[in-house]
Amino acid sequence: LAHAKQQERPLFFYEEKNHQDLSDEWMEMSLRKALQNKEMDVYYQPQVKTHSGEVHKVEALVRWQHPDYGVISPGVFIDAAERFGLIMPLTLQVVEKVCLQLKEWRKTAASIQRVSINLSPLHFEFVDANCQITDLVHRHGIPPEMIEWELTETSMVENLQQMAGQLLELEKEGFSIALDDFGAGVSSLTRLQELPIHTLKLDKHFMNKFPGSDKKQQVIQLMITFAELSGMEIVCEGVETKEQLDALRKMNAGFIQGYIFQHPVPASELKYSFTEGRDMTL
Ligand code: C2E
Ligand code: MG
Ligand code: MG
Ligand code: MG
């Protein structure tokens, strides 16, 4: 019976438009329950140093461990959490989980120096959101230097002035800031240089048909050079093939995050190094 239940997913999963109301109701109720019962779990994906294969940084990616339906991806529920006013409690649960994991890693895996955590564009619309995440990190005794906040370009479009102020606050606390999905939106490069951004995460769409044509390679080389000249680290996302990895190595891309090394996994399955010949020569 348990098995049968697992396969029977709510209509929401099929994104059928005419069931939107029903699934919205189901989703809101289930999400509230999930947050109450702390069903949100965090997976980690390594950001591998391109030349050495070492892992000092990882990204935290939320997963909903649903008691009946198993692991649910954020693509299915983040948007709903935002619409139902549940994104802040969700963020706080993720931050809390990451802090506990960092405590563990500080004891057992000295190589992990930093975890990046995704923030919703809505985060910056709550006046006390930054205080809440900062307090939580302090309460756990985690040095802010061990956390990087990832935000997307869409967060920045609306109110750059106010955004800049909030980012400076986080920077002053000692956190780093990453710009996620860079190149997918509309940032102007000069405006970018005015913000305290420490890491650029090159959007995975750049990996489509890459290496491919010279043009394709030149654009990516330009992004890598731009990051370097602006004093930012660069993480190339969505790297899946050996050809892509080799091309990015030649271009001196700093960090690689992608299935070629490891999918997001529970902390216990995370690999801390890809330096053994077997992994580096994939
Ligand atoms: P993101 O922050 O851009 O995260 C990268 C996504 O790309 C992850 O999907 C990851 O599993 C996937 N990915 C990694 N390597 C590869 C690859 O080689 N190829 C391909 N095709 N994909 C790859 P995931 O975990 O499903 O997360 C999707 C999005 O959900 C994230 O995109 C992020 O925007 C959002 N998200 C995840 N966790 C959180 C969270 O805790 N809070 C908030 N607000 N959003 C989150
Ligand atoms: Mg991210
Ligand atoms: Mg991304
Ligand atoms: Mg994203």
Ligand 4 centroid to Cα of residue 34, in Å, is 22
Q: What is the pLDDT of residue 27?
A: 92
- How much is the pTM? 0.92
pLDDT in tens, the chain (282 residues): 444 444 455 545 555 444 455 588 899 999 999 999 999 999 999 999 999 999 999 999 999 999 998 999 999 999 999 999 999 999 999 999 999 999 999 999 779 999 999 999 999 888 899 999 999 999 999 999 999 999 987 777 667 777 888 999 999 999 999 999 998 876 677 778 788 999 999 999 999 999 988 888 999 999 999 999 999 999 999 999 999 999 999 999 999 999 999 999 999 999 999 985 545 544
Beta bridge partners of 58: 46, 115
Whether 181 contacts 203, CB under 8 Å: yes
- Report CA(155)–ligand 1 centroid distance (Å): 16
Q: 199: which strand partners?
A: 178, 233
The per-residue pLDDT for 280 is 53
* Å from CA of 71 to ligand 3 middle: 20
Give the pLDDT score at 281. Answer: 43
What are the φ/ψ torsions at residue 270 (nearest 5 degrees)?
A: -65, 140
The alpha carbon of 202 and the centre of ligand 3 are apart by a number of angstroms equal to 7
**How many whole angstroms from 258 Cα to the centroid of ligand 4?**
14
How many residues are listed for the chain in this entry? Answer: 282
At residue 10, the pLDDT reads 54
Residue 156: per-residue pLDDT: 72
Indicate which atom in ligand 1 lies nearest the CA of residue 264.
Answer: 11
Q: Which atom of ligand 1 is nearest to the CA of 257?
A: 15
Q: Is the CB of 140 under 6 A from ligand 1?
A: no
In short, whether 93's Cβ falls inside 6 Å of ligand 1 is: no
Atom of ligand 1 nearest to the CA of 120: 44
Which residue's CA is the closest to the ligand 1 atom numbered 12? 238
CA dihedral in degrees (264, 64, 197, 140; nearest 10)?
-100
